[in-house]
Copies of this chain bind each other. A is one copy, B any other.
Amino acid sequence: MTPTIQRFPKNPILTPADVKASHPDMQVELLLNPGAFRYNGRIGLLVRVAERPVQEPDWISVPLLDPDAEGGMRILRIRKDDPDLDLAPGETRGFDYKGRGYLTTLSHLRLAWSDDGFHFTPDPRPTFVGQGAHEAFGVEDCRVEFFDERYWLAYSTASEFGVVAGLASTADWRAFNRHGVIFASHNKDVAFFPQKIGGAYTAFHRPSGLGPGGHFIWLARSPDMIHWGAHTCLATTRRGHWDSERIGAGAAPIKTDRGWLAIYHGADCNGRYCLGALLLDLNDPTRVLARSDEPLMTPETDYECKGFYGNTVFTNGHVTDGDRLFLYYGAADSVVCGAELSIRDILSTL
């Protein structure tokens, strides 16, 4: 059983052409995976904007944040025939150089605002930019959740030290407090529950490792949002299924009568990213009550199937209005889209 999905008629709602580059030497390559929230009667998206310098033939140029450099950024420029360069075949997101990994683009987060949830106007300047040694390769894929009178931003960030989860908060979308790295390398897809459970803050996260294990969704608990423990694996990939290779949480789970409804992404052995759902016990979210056998949403349209990383729908932001779920998502790692679903409809599939 598949729920009805109404993709926004104006999809994609934001493309790289809609966003001004952060610097005259840079160009916006991709828009990805927005966080979503309500603020002062409007809907905000916190979009990941991936940029890189204009590329020259025979060279790869990647930008690195560097507080010691002029303008806070320097360009690593490598000849494509440099023997220390290792461009893995088929891999476009990163490469190895002198035994260290790098990303091909540098991302920042940019606000875009809407009165109706369908039409968004991006801010002319970056909102949240990588800062410090652990964020030198930029900030990505931010979940936004409001509680305790603040918006909490959980974002992925990378550097030569690895891919980690950073935490920041803001009350007014102007001043941001940074709370450091909350999950160390390699970790992504952190999303907070909208309220404490059993006296503790609760988060999804997605550690990735070597040897036994995989790209699974974990839960952790915290007394203060800054320090996390009681890690437990919530859900693993499923061999032969649509989510056989890697899974990770979407945005905050939605509280329903039947339990916490969590939208998550899953990738299969062909690298196709789909969306599905988990239903978790309200009082003990480590208990999985139901899980999508079939994906809720698969890449189908042209803008989802073709792009920088095709066959991909990926969400980390939504807002609700009663039973209506406005799901914002990245399509093909290239553009930002929206879709409307019914929460009741999703629950009926579980």
Contact = CB atoms under 8 A, between A and B. Distances in A.
Contacts of A239: 98-99
Contacts of A158: 211-213
Contacts of A205: 184
Contact of A184 (B99, B100, B220): B220
Nearest to A215: B210
B186 A211 contact: yes
A232 interface: yes
Number of copies of this chain that the complex holds: 2
Nearest to A201: B227
Interface string A95-131: 0001111110000000000000000000000000000
A183 B222 CA distance: 13
A346 interface: no
A227 B226 CA distance: 9
Interface residues of A, number: 52
A283 to B, nearest CB: 18
A134 B228 contact: no
A329 interface: no
B230 A181 contact: yes
A183 B184 contact: yes
Nearest to A239: B99
A207 to B, nearest CB: 4
Nearest to A102: B212
Contacts of A216: 161-162, 185
B185 A207 contact: yes
A307 interface: no
Given A226-B229, A233-B133, A159 B221 contact: no
Contacts of A210: 163, 186, 208, 210
A218 B133 CA distance: 13
A67 interface: no
Contacts of A103: 212
A72 to B, nearest CB: 19
Interface string A194-220: 000000000001011111111010101
A228 B220 CA distance: 11
A300 interface: no
Contacts of A233: 133-134, 161-162, 185
A196 to B, nearest CB: 14
Given A226-B229, A227-B227, A229-B227, A209 B209 contact: yes
